[in-house]
Structures are given as C-alpha cells and as structure tokens.
Structure 1
Amino acid sequence: MRVLSAAIGAVLATATLLAPSAAAQRETRIPESAIATASQLREAALASDLGYRVTESLTTEVGPRMAGSDGDARAVAWAQAKFRELGYDKVWVEPVTFPKWERRAEHAQVLGAHAQPLALTALGGSPGGTVEAEVVRFADLAALEAAPPGSLAGKIAFVDYRMERARDGSGYGPGSRVRSRAPSVAITKGAIGFLMRSAGTDSHRQPHTGITRFDDGLTPIPSAALSVPDAAQLTRLLQRGPQQVRMSLDCGWTGTATSYNVIGEIRGSKRPNEVVLIGGHLDSWDLGTGAVDDGAGVGLTMAAGALIGQLPKAPARTVRVVAFANEEQGLYGGKAYAQQHAKALRQHQLAAESDFGAGRIYAYSSSAPAYAQRADRQIAEVLAPLGIAHVPGEGGPGPDISPFAADGLAWARLAQDGSDYFDLHHTPDDTFDKIDPQALAQNVAAYAVFAYLAAQAEGDFGSAPKEAKTTD
C-alpha cells in the first residue's frame, strides 16, 4: 500500500505541476441555470425605461460636461449619487489629471465682394488668435501633404474632405485623421491658420469639434472646423476666385485639471474579487449636452448593472460599471484606470464599453480564446432574440478599455448602428431628444445579458498580461 501510495503521490505531484497549463485550456462554459436567468433579465430590461431615465437625468441636470469644467465636476457628483440611488453595493472615485483646454468665443467671415459669416468651431487643443488671409483648398489630407514646403506661407489651409456615412462608423477614421494630423502638416507648409470640413455626415449648419494635436517642435496655429454647409459654401466661393477669410478664436490651454473615474459595483456572490467591467465616458464636448456621446453609454450601462443588482441573487463575479473621465481629449480616464488596476488585470474577466451613441446593437464579438468559444456562443445565443448577430473575429475594444486591452484585458464588442451617429457627434445637436427609448432599452438588455453571463461563466475569457517585446 505504501508503494502504491507513493506512486499515486508522484502522479498527483506531476499533475499539480501541470495544473496551471491544463486549467488555462479548460473549456469555459456558462451553466444552464444562468442562461435561463439571463433570458428573464433580457425581457425585464426590454420592458424597463431605466436607461432612458438615467440618461435624461444626466443630460438635463448636468448638461455639457467638458473635461475640467464646472459641468464636469457636477457630473462626477451626479454619477456618485446616481450609483447610490440605483442600489449599487460600492461606489468610489479615482482621480484623473490632465491638461485643461477652454473654449470662450469663436467666429469667422469671408471678406471682400462676397462678405458673409461662416459657422465654425475651434478644434480642441487649438490656440486662440485672429488670422486674416487667403484660403487655399485641398480635397483631402494627401493633397495637403503633397503641397511644397513653404507654399502656404501667410495663408489659411482648408481641407475639404467629405466623410462617408457607414453603419459601423468606418468613415470616421479618415475624417478624424484630417482633424488630428492636418493642422501640423499645414504648419510645415507655412500656413498661419487651418480650416477643415467637419468630420461629420450631416447637412446642418452645426460644426463638429474634436481634439487635435500638434507635432513637437511646431508652433500651433488657430485651427477650426466649418459646418458641412459652410465648407461647401466656401468651396463654391473659391471656384469663383481667391477668397480672404478672417478667423478669430478665443480658446486655449489653461493649466491642468483633475476629474475622476466614477465606479459602481454590484458585488459578486462567490468570486467578488473577479470583475466584469462595462461602462461609458462621463465627459462630453461643450457644444451640446452630450446625449449620444456619451450620456447614453453611461445611462445604459448604469441601468444594466442596476437591473442585475435587482436579481434575487447576485452573479458569481462582481459587475463593475465605470463612468470614465476625459475620454474626449485623449482617453485620460481609460489610461488612468489601466494603470491603477494593472496588477488586477487577470481578475478582470471581460470588459465592454458603450461609446457609439444610442442606436440598436446589431452584432456581438469578443476576444475570447479558443477554450472560451463555447461561452462566447452561449452569450451570443441569449443576445440573438434582440436582433444581435454573432460575428466572431470582428471589431475591437471600446476607446476607454483599449489601453487596458493593449495590456491583455479580454474585451467584447456590442456593435451599435451608427448610421446617424456622425450627424450629431461633437455638435450642438447632440441632445437628449435624439435618443430612441426603445433602442436604448435594447442596449440595456444586451449589456445586462452580457455582463450577467460573463460574471456567471465557469472559466475565464483570456485576460492575461501580454509579454513585453524584447529586441536583440
């Protein structure tokens, strides 16, 4: 018996040494009892207007929430109070510090024989100042890049790129690249000012703002976006001959500010230190009331977490909802969260962010590894009655979770229909009346199902620190 026991002991010792590798490959699955509960949760969420009411509260009681502003501070207080009102088990804040940019006043006009005002807005990060000069039009960023050095000396560069409408928002990449890159390129060509057709798909006289950057070593120039109709008007005027424009911007950086990631939790019943994360960003630009960008994301994820919290029994893992600070000017809240929680990356089961408006969700995908594909399909099956297709291998993480995902966080994507998102994005038209309550309820249902099932899964979805790349 002792010999047999020794042999068994040796086998068990070997198995123990191999256990971590074997465990990592064990199939992740979701119990059938959780599937049944999630189906009931889905129907309850569809019948609820909680997400709509939370979004209405934020956009009405706080309004615009540009990072570092008084509105931003009121939004932080609002979020803490709302989490508590909704019954979250734990609520706290984590500081996020960043440079502060302010917009004060802005206007522009065509001068000369065709004198008329232009509707424009300063790009975030632009310096203030008044410039008066001839305008030179470029069809796109590539055309500006091809201009000879010095060819724009003393002139205003105007990039007239037309953004294309797409359900998945894919047209925004080239449009936003004009905003982020073209001012620096214009400076290298000698320009003293920069104008662009707004990165938007609407035809309203409402310009779209957004952050821009200036390359190191360059002296920034006043930079602004024209509304789509005004960009078209300026192009027609230029077809009639040279045009002079005066642009006056009163804006700029004013030191640093501190805001907060606001976090609420529904504590897990079995593994409370393991987390499923959902959320949106709390800040907005100052022109509208930040309803689709991203009041809806905050409202629907807060509501999803609250509905999970109302179940007779909490899920095994903690559901954490994060209202991220200052996404608009550089993902500051997302970066701070990733740094703050780096040591707990493995404890983050799965994360998803809503930051693409309030349109219906039409597709689901995740970064789940092969051993978690069964659970991924199970989530997709409960989402399917909401009109959500399973599209494995597509998409990527939301903006604020992308810094943590780059470190190895497992992510999921609940893709919203953004066909009209860029009609409203970063404009005065981003207001609560644009939100469809039924579409928002569908979003709440999807996020509640997703978060609950991920929290109930037996096994993980692959969160693990990525190995640092080494060079020889």
Structure 2
Amino acid sequence: MPFSFDFQTRSALIAFLLLLAAASSLAQQPQAASTLQQITSELEPSNGVWTAQQIAAMGRLRDAALRDAYATTELQHLTDNIGPRLSGSPQAQQAVEYVAAEMRALGAEVQMEKTTVPHWVRGVETGQLVSWPGMGPDATQKIVLTALGGSVATPAEGLTAEVIVVDSLKDLNALSPDAVKGKILLFNEHFDKRLAAQGLGFEAYGQAVAYRAGAPALGASRGAAAVLVRSVGGAEYRLPHTGMTEYDPQLTKIPAASVTAEDADLLVHLTSQGHVRMKLTLTPQTLPRADSYNVIADWKGSEHPEQVVIVSGHLDSWDLGTGAIDDGAGVAVAMQAIHLLSQSGIHPRRTIRFVAWMAEEEGSDGAQTYLAEHSGDIANHVGAIESDSGAGHPTGIYLAGKPELQAWLHPISQVLEPIGATQLVISKETGADISGLTDKGVPSFAPLQDGRFYFNYHHTAADTFDKIDAHELNENSAVMTVLAYALADSPQPAPR
C-alpha cells in the first residue's frame, strides 16, 4: 500500500524542515556578508595608508599631467634643438646644462654630480660585397650597417674577407676550428617579431641581444677578422640597430658592426650558393674618458627632507637618431613630475629627487658614481623610479622589492584607473640606472608600457621626436608623478 503520514507526523516533519531551513539560512549569513564585503571592497577600494585628501591630491596631479604640455615641450627641445647625446659629446654636455637650468627655474635645488664617461666617436662605416655567386662584371652591392658601440676600427683602407654565416653559437661550435679564421663572421640571430607583437618586446630583445654583446669575443676566439650581427629590432626598413658590445680583455679586439635584417637575409642567401667576399670599413675612435655629470634636482620634503624618492631617466643617447624614446622621454616625464609639484605648490613629506643619469648606454657610469657618492645614505632612499622603456601607453607599474608592495600600492592603481594603468607587476629589475639601489633593498619602480613598437626604433636613426604620442607621454607623466607623490607623502615609507 502507498506510504502515508498521519497528521501529527506530518506536522512534526514540517516543523523540523522549517527549523532546518532557518538554521541553514543563519549558517549562510556570514558567508553572504563576506561576499558582500569583498564586492564592496572591489568597487569602493580602501585608501590604504593614504588619507582621502592625499588620494584627491593624486587625482589632481594625474589630471594636471594629462593636460600639461611641459613634458612634450622639453622632449622636443632635447631631441630637435640639442640632438643626439652620446656620452662625452658636446651635445651631452649641452643637455646637462639645459636640464639643470630648467630644474633651477622650477625652484628645485640642483646639483651637477661629476662623473667620468666613455668617449667613443663613430666615424665612417661602409660595407659592400665585392664577390658573390652570379655577380656581373665589375659589380658591387652595398651592405647597410653601423658600428656597434665601443667597436675598434678596421684598417683605414678597410678590410676585405670572406663572409661566414651562423645562426647560433651551436652552429659556430659545429664548424671546424679554423673555419672562420681571417673571415668576417655574421651571427644571424632573429628578433622575434611575433613575440613583440604580443606586447613582449623586451622579452624578444632579451633573447637576441646577447649576440650583439658577445659577438666580438666569440669571433675573436675563433680568429675572425671582424664580426657582424643581425640588427636587434622589429622594423625591417633597412635600418641598422646599434648598441654597446663587449670585448674579452684576454682576446684580440676585432671590428664589430650590425647589419640590417634585409642585408643579413641577403648574405644568408648568397653564402648558401658559394663564396661571398665583403669589404668592410669602420673608423671609430675611443678617446680618453671625459668628464660629465648626473643632473640632480631636489624638490625638498616638508617633514623628512633627508629621505628621498627618485624620479629619473637617462640623458645620454645613441648617436644615430636623437634619442626621443631612448631615453629623452624618460627624462621629460621625470622633469614633468617636478614641474607639476611646483605648479601645484605641493611639498610632500619626503624629498622627490629628479636624476638625469649620464652614460647609461655605455655602461651606466653615472649610476655607479651616484651609488659611490651616496653609499652612506642608501637607508634614506625610500623609493626609486626610472622610465627607460619609451613613451608608449602605460598599463601599470613594474615594482621590485618585497611582495607586500603589491597590495600596499593597490590604492595607487585605482587612482591611475582612468588612464588604464592599473596593473602592478612584480619584476626583478625596473631600470639599469636604479638597479644598484634595487640590489641594496630600495623599493624600485618603472612605468609598465606598451612594448609592441619600441624596438622598431630603439637604437636606430628612426628614434626621433615624431615617434612620440603627446597624450601617451602625458599618461606616463601621470604614472611617474602620482607614484612619486604617493611614495613621498605616505605616513610611513613603503615596505622594505
């Protein structure tokens, strides 16, 4: 027969179920409140260690940076009026004097910190094929190239030798010991354009640049007469890409140059058919080291002027272009931070110290001098920011230091949300010039920028002012200024 309840049993069961539902509802209340709190905190984030007034000041600085043309004007003067600023050059000294004067005009306390720097001069650089499979009578072909920084010269009349191409060190090691002796050795390592197109330009650069640095030592160890490297960059408009190279003091120094991607491909194709000979002429000179300066400008703190937050970029550049993205832009946005504080009359608790570093491209000699001069004062450096990745749209901040920095800076990422710069990404390094400070435990930072196009122009003749988007430059100024103010005015220094 079918199962049935009498009235009393049914009533008891209903009462039990109601009690069970009530208990379940009560048990769920804390979880619901926790979820609600989490949603609320995401939509209305805490101000962290900063007051509502300080957060509002950051918003005003952000908005002022987006409106102000100061950084663009300063950058155009550095690039168009002063020009290339290779360390030791007259233009580098002119830039030092100009930036120091501009900082004084803003009311900052300026120091020109003396350092000594390399003084390398490029000279003539030509390449041409004089023999190759299928050539016509009396024919030659031009090879577009540029000397690598620090390269020694060929004989004044040039050198002519057979070209040997390898794709990697593994390929070089597979050759017989004497295969490249007396020859011109080309390392044909490709820059990964697909990786760069996904916003990972610096990762692509890191993979390829080792050959630019190491080629002279590798070639000299095999008795090569000279070395060439495929240009480390993404734009294939027959633009050679320069940059510093390295020599092994135990080996003979041999001439080193970078060839365009197109000419590297040409050499690969022709050498696959037979013997190819090239005439290479490079006449660079390495002159005695020169006196130069880091430009230091302090915007003094109101409570703890002895504690400093650095805002910085490097003032020197390579000599093929005018150093707009590398690194006039970094200097300009750091100048803008002092300009905006001056315009607004804000003196945060701690000193914000502008630094225009000298000789980053040729070994960061200025940064080494700074570390030596301030070795007894590292504990008073509560933060350091360097911009040396161009002027592309910033999506956030790189940070190096304690993991707690990420959560500590969360309110700052919310201030930067209107410009889309909310990411806080932990990194081992944030800038070459501040890396020594990072190693000593100083929390350090850099704008996290769009890197898809940077290496189309980096270290080439195309690094000129027209590559700058003024709005994106101002966005970077906003990141630099807001972050500097936050670090300088927090009740306690950033976690260290």
TM-score by length of 1: 0.89
Aligned pair count reads: 436
2:114 matched residue in structure 1? 95
**1:162 maps to which residue?**
190
Report how far residue 319 of structure 1 moved: 0.8
Residue of structure 1 in register with 2:161 after alignment: 133
- SS of 1:268 mapped into structure 2: coil
- What's the CA shift for 1:374? 4.5
Structure 1 unmatched ranges of 5 or more:
1-27, 464-472
Alpha-carbon distance in structure 1 between the residues aligned to 2:396 and 2:207: 23
| Matched position secondary structure for 1:79 | helix
Task: Indicate yes or no: 2:472 matched with 1:439.
Answer: yes
Q: Select 1:104's aligned residue among 123, 137, 145.
A: 123
1:149 aligns with 2:168: no
- Equivalent residues of 2:398, 2:430 under 8 A apart: no
Q: TM-score scaled by structure 2?
A: 0.85
Q: Distance in 2 between matches of 1:337 and 1:149?
A: 45
Q: Matches of 1:422 and 1:197 in 2, distance apart?
A: 14
Q: CA deviation at 1:382?
A: 1.3
- The share of aligned pairs that are identical, in percent, is 37
What does residue 31 of structure 2 align with?
none
Alignment of 1:229-308 (within 5 A): 229-308=262-341
Match of 1:184 among 208, 213, 217: 217
Contact conserved, 1:29 with 1:372, CA < 8 A, in 2?
no
Q: Distance in 2 between matches of 1:227 and 1:372?
A: 42
Is the Cα–Cα contact under 8 Å of residues 324 and 333 in structure 1 kept in the other structure? yes
Structure 1 consecutive aligned stretches of length 4 or more whose deviation exceeds 6 Å: none
Q: Give the structure with higher Rg (CA).
A: 2
What's the counterpart of residue 243 of structure 2? 210
Residue of structure 2 aligned with 1:58, choices 60, 75, 78: 78
Question: Deviation at 1:371?
Answer: 5.5
- CA distance in 2: counterparts of 1:58 and 1:395, whole angstroms: 31
Residue 148 of structure 2 is matched in structure 1 by: 123
In structure 2, how many angstroms separate the alpha carbons of the residues matched to 1:445 and 1:164? 31
Is structure 2 residue 43 aligned with structure 1 residue 43? no
Whether contact under 8 Å (1:396, 1:413) holds in the other structure is no
Question: SS in structure 2 opposite 1:261?
Answer: strand
Post-superposition Cα deviations, 1:367-415, rounded to whole Å, max 9, x if no partner, equal 3535555531122221222211323434522111012211222111321
Distance in 2, matches of 1:204 and 1:435, equals 19
8 Å contact from structure 2 (residues 357, 366) kept in 1: yes
2:391 to 355, 358, 362: 358
Measured against aligned partners, the alpha-carbon deviations of 1:95-134 in whole angstroms (never above 9, x if no partner) come to 1113321111110100122621111000011100122111
Residue of structure 2 in register with 1:328 after alignment: 361
Question: Greater CA deviation, 379-388 or 145-154?
Answer: 145-154
Asked if structure 1 preserves the Cα contact closer than 8 Å seen for 2:239 and 2:461, the reply is yes
Contact 2:406 2:426 in 1 (8 A): no
Over 3 Å counting, the alpha-carbon distance change for 1:372 and 1:415 in structure 2 is closer
**What is the CA–CA distance in structure 1 between the aligned matches of 2:111 and 2:229, rounded to whole Å?**
41
1:149, 1:188 within 8 Å by CA — same for their partners in 2? no
Of 266-275 and 403-412, deviating more is 403-412
| Structure 2: tracts of 5 or more residues without a match | 1-47
> Deviation of residue 239 (structure 1)?
2.7
How far off its partner does 1:419 sit? 1.0
Question: What is aligned with 1:31?
Answer: 51
Give a deviation string over 1:216-274, Cα, whole Å, max 9, x none: 21111111000122212222222332210110000031111111000112111111111
Map Cα deviations across residues 129-171 of structure 1 (whole Å, 9 max, x no partner).
Answer: 1221111101124423444433211111101111113224111
- One-letter code aligned to 2:130: L
Distance 2:462 2:268 in 1: 24
Describe the SS at the equivalent of 1:414.
strand
Cross-structure match for 1:172: 205
Contact 2:348/2:489, CA 8 A, preserved across alignment = yes
Contact 1:365 1:393 in 2 (8 A): yes
Structure 2 contact 85–95 (Cα < 8 Å) conserved:
yes
2: CA distance, partners of 1:119 / 1:187: 23
Partner of 2:228: 195
Shift of 1:363: 2.5
Could you tell me which amino acid in structure 2 is paired with residue 157 of structure 1?
L
Cα pair 2:401 2:442 within 8 Å, conserved: no
Among 358, 371, 380, the residue aligned to 1:347: 380
Q: Which residue of 2 aligns with 1:10?
A: none
1:111 is paired with a residue whose SS is: strand
User: Which amino acid in structure 2 is aligned with residue 214 of structure 1?
Assistant: Y
Query: Structure 1's 61 and 184: CA in aligned 2 closer, same or farther, altered over 3 A?
Result: same
How many Å separate the matches in 1 of 2:163 and 2:78? 41
**Secondary structure, counterpart of 2:60 in structure 1:** helix
Contact 2:117 2:366 in 1 (8 A): no
The question of whether the paired residues in 2 share the 8 Å contact of 1:144 and 1:185 is answered with no
**Aligned counterparts of 1:422 and 1:394: Cα–Cα separation in 2:** 20
The answer as to 2:409 corresponding to 1:376 is: yes
8 Å CA contact retained: 2:129, 2:279: yes
In the aligned structure 1, how far is the partner of 2:281 from the partner of 2:490? 56
Contact persistence 1:159–1:196 (CA under 8 A): yes
Structure-to-structure mapping, 1:377-416, within 5 angstroms: 377-394=410-427, 396-416=429-449
Does the residue aligned with 1:170 lie in a helix, a strand or coil?
Answer: helix
CA contact (8 A) 2:412 2:483 kept: yes
**1:80 corresponds to which of 97, 100, 116:** 100
1:172–1:370 distance in 2 versus 1, CA, 3 Å:
closer
